[in-house]
Structure formats: structure tokens, C-alpha cells
């Protein structure tokens, strides 16, 4: 397997090189981190619905839209990326693309364990420490290839992550920050700072991947650089960034696997913010004191359409 230990690269290169490899039909493993922070949309994210563009502009955070799944992410130099590009007919790929995460994330999980951190896989694609997410991972068919991309959070700024997301109400924003902080973690919180350096993490990742593949250390060649430049232009083009994506009649942010924060408009004046974990309501709040006590009694119940319909009826009854 061609292996590119890129280290510190320009922000757009952390996306462009793996896209370029996939488009060119070349397999490879890349390990890198970004020199400056940026915001990355998943392929089907809707820019208007998801991103607080005013904040990103004020903070000079560039935007890029990748061709893999998953949602909006804030990326900076406190995350180490590991990216695997395979040809789509590579026999090591299972029929179900999602099942490959079990294998793809094993090196990163082993890095954590070697650091004395008890990390585990929460299927399909989260690495967790003590049930809290410490990585962001995604995959997609690009050209004739398939790219699996992951990262390990050495450290992570939840405040900035929340700032880049568009939130429908101050209540939702407050719950978002609280829920994100309680469901995300990073390696620095769990191991000696001296061991959690970028170089050390990259070296450990390299070693773990080398148990799986015979790594052939490569440098970036002219063809790859040229293609990466073209990819950069395409993935940051205004029409690509503003491409219509998944639009919902309600706001939904995924915090981690099976943990969502929803905002539903119940009536013209009343809205509901709900945290759902594994299909169960764990937090619920509205801007109507008339119904708040009643809806809070549903914490611990399953979230479904019936509940929503009943809440609409209840609200109309209590608020006239």
C-alpha cells in the first residue's frame, strides 16, 4: 500500500489528496493534519440549513464540501487524520461498505489502547472513550475508488464547533453546547500530555496500519499534486458549496452515533427541543411553560411520530 506520511499540510490538502487518489484510481494511505482550521461539509449537507456562515466569515474559516458522508465538522491542527483509499473492486472490501469501519478503525482504536486509553468502536463508525466520541469518520465512493477517512481528536473545541452550526433558537443552542460537551471527549483528557503529540500519534497510527498493510512510503508526485489542485478548486467552488442538500422541515444535529438534537415547531409560537439517544428522549424543553411539565414527564420514553402528534394536540389544547 502506498503510504503518504504528510504531517502538516495546508487545510485544503487534507481533503484534496485523498479525493485525488480516488479519482485517479490509485490506492493509498495518508496520515496528516491541517495547518489552519476550516469547516468541512458532508456531501449531502445543506449549507444554508447547517452553517452559520456569518460566524465562519468573521472568523475567516474557509469552507469545503467533501464527497464522503457524515455531517458538518470543524477541523483544526489538534486532530490527526488517517485516510485510506481503495479501488472499489478491492476484495478486502465487504459488500456492505459500513461494515468495513470495523477494520478501518481498528488501528486508531489500538493507538488509543497503547496510550492506556480504553477506546472502543460504537457501530457503525464512532470511536468512543467511556461512551464519549473521540473521533470523526466517514466514507464515500469517489471516482473508481472508495475513501475511508477518520481522525483522532487530540483536543477539540466544542464551543467553536457549536458556533459554526446554525441553531434555530437560543434554547436549542444552549442544549446543543451542553449535549456536545457531555458526549464528546479527546485523547488529552485521558492520557499523559507528553505522549499525546502529533508526531507520536502519527507514528503509532503508521505502526498499527503496518500490521495490516505492507506500507510503501511515498512522496507526493507531480500528477497527484496537479490533480489535488483541481480537486481543491472544485470542492470549494461557490456552486458546489451552495449545492442544495438534505433539507428537513425541522432542525436536526447529530452529536454522535444515535445521539441527536432536534427542534420541532409545534405551533406558530411554540417549539420543542429534544435530545434523543438510541431512540429515547433524554432531554426535552419548549418555550411554553403551559406544556413543559407535561412533556418533561416523557423523558425516558421512546421518541416517535405519535409522541410528536400528541404534543401538537396537547399544545393546541393548552395554549388555545
Partner 1 sequence: MENLQWQVPEDLYYDRNDYWVKIQRDEAVIGLTAFGQYNTGDILYLELPTEGTALTRGKKIGSIESGKWVGKLTAPLTGQVIESNQKVESNPHIVNQDAFGEGWLYRMLLQDPAEVAELMNATGYDRWIAEQIQKEKETTVL
Binding site for partner 1 (CB under 8 A): 42-44, 67-70, 91-103, 124-125, 137-141, 246
Q: Which residue's CB is nearer to partner 1, number 123 or number 225?
A: 123
Q: Which is nearer to partner 1, 75 or 115 (CB)?
A: 75
Least distance from partner 1 to the Cβ atom of residue 99, Å: 7
The distance of Cα 92 from the centroid of its chain, to the nearest Å, equals: 25
**Minimum gap (Å) between residue 248 Cβ and partner 1:** 10
Residue 149: closest CA among 92, 88, 100, 204: 100
Of 193 and 246, which has the nearer Cβ to partner 1? 246
Angle at 67 between CA 108 and CA 62, to 5 degrees: 90
- Least distance from C-beta 301 to partner 1, angstroms? 21
| Assigned C-alpha cell, 210 | 503496518
Q: How far is the CB of 216 from partner 1 (least distance, A)?
A: 19
Judged by beta carbon, residue 68 or residue 288, the one nearer partner 1 is 68
CB of 151 vs partner 1, minimal distance in Å? 13
Nearer of residues 8 and 44 to partner 1, judged by Cβ: 44
- Cβ proximity to partner 1, 99 vs 226, nearer residue: 99
Q: Is 25 left (phi over 0), alpha (psi -120 to 50) or beta?
A: left
Residue with cell 469517489: 142
Nearer to partner 1, 35 or 257 (CB): 257
Give least dist CB 23 to partner 1, A: 13
> Which residue lies nearer to partner 1 by CB, 137 or 167?
137
Strand 135-142 and strand 79-87: pairing? unpaired
Residue 229 dihedral angles phi and psi, to the nearest 5°: -60, -40
Residues 6+ apart with CB under 8 A from 207: none
Q: How far is the CB of 174 from partner 1 (least distance, A)?
A: 27
Q: How far is CA 232 from CA 39, 94, 226, in A?
A: 14, 30, 10
**Least distance from partner 1 to the Cβ atom of residue 138, Å:** 5
Amino acid at each position: 500500500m502506498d503510504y503518504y506520511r504528510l504531517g502538516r499540510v495546508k487545510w485544503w490538502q487534507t481533503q484534496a489528496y485523498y479525493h485525488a487518489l480516488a479519482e485517479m484510481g490509485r490506492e493509498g494511505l495518508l496520515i496528516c493534519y491541517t495547518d489552519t482550521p476550516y469547516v468541512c461539509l458532508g456531501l449531502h449537507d445543506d449549507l444554508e440549513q447547517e452553517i452559520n456562515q456569518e460566524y465562519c466569515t468573521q472568523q475567516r474559516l474557509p469552507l469545503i464540501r467533501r464527497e464522503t458522508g457524515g455531517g458538518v465538522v470543524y477541523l483544526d491542527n489538534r486532530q490527526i487524520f488517517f485516510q485510506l483509499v481503495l479501488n472499489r473492486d478491492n476484495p478486502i472490501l465487504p459488500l456492505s461498505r459500513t461494515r468495513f469501519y470495523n477494520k478501518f478503525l481498528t488501528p486508531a482504536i489500538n493507538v488509543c489502547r497503547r496510550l492506556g486509553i480504553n477506546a472502543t468502536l460504537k457501530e457503525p463508525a464512532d470511536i468512543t472513550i467511556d461512551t464519549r466520541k473521540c473521533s470523526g469518520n466517514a466514507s464515500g465512493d469517489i471516482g473508481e475508488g472508495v475513501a475511508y477517512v477518520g481522525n483522532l481528536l487530540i483536543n477539540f473545541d466544542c464551543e467553536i464547533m457549536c458556533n459554526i452550526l446554525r441553531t434555530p433558537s437560543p434554547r436549542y443552542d444552549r442544549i446543543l453546547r451542553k449535549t456536545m460537551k457531555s458526549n464528546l471527549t479527546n485523547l488529552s483528557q485521558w492520557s499523559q500530555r507528553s505522549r499525546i503529540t502529533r508526531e507520536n500519534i502519527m507514528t503509532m497510527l503508521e505502526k498499527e496500519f503496518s500490521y495490516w498493510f505492507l506500507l510503501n512510503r511515498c512522496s507526493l508526485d507531480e500528477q497527484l499534486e496537479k490533480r489535488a489542485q483541481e480537486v481543491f478548486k472544485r470542492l470549494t467552488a461557490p456552486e458546489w458549496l451552495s449545492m442544495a442538500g438534505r433539507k428537513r422541515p425541522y432542525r436536526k444535529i447529530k452529536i454522535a452515533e444515535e445521539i441527536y438534537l432536534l427542534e420541532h415547531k409545534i405551533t406558530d409560537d411554540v417549539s420543542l427541543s429534544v435530545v434523543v439517544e438510541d431512540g429515547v428522549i433524554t432531554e426535552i424543553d419548549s418555550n411554553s411553560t403551559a406544556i413543559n411539565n407535561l412533556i418533561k414527564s416523557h423523558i425516558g420514553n421512546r421518541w416517535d411520530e405519535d409522541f410528536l402528534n400528541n404534543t401538537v394536540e396537547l399544545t393546541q389544547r393548552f395554549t388555545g
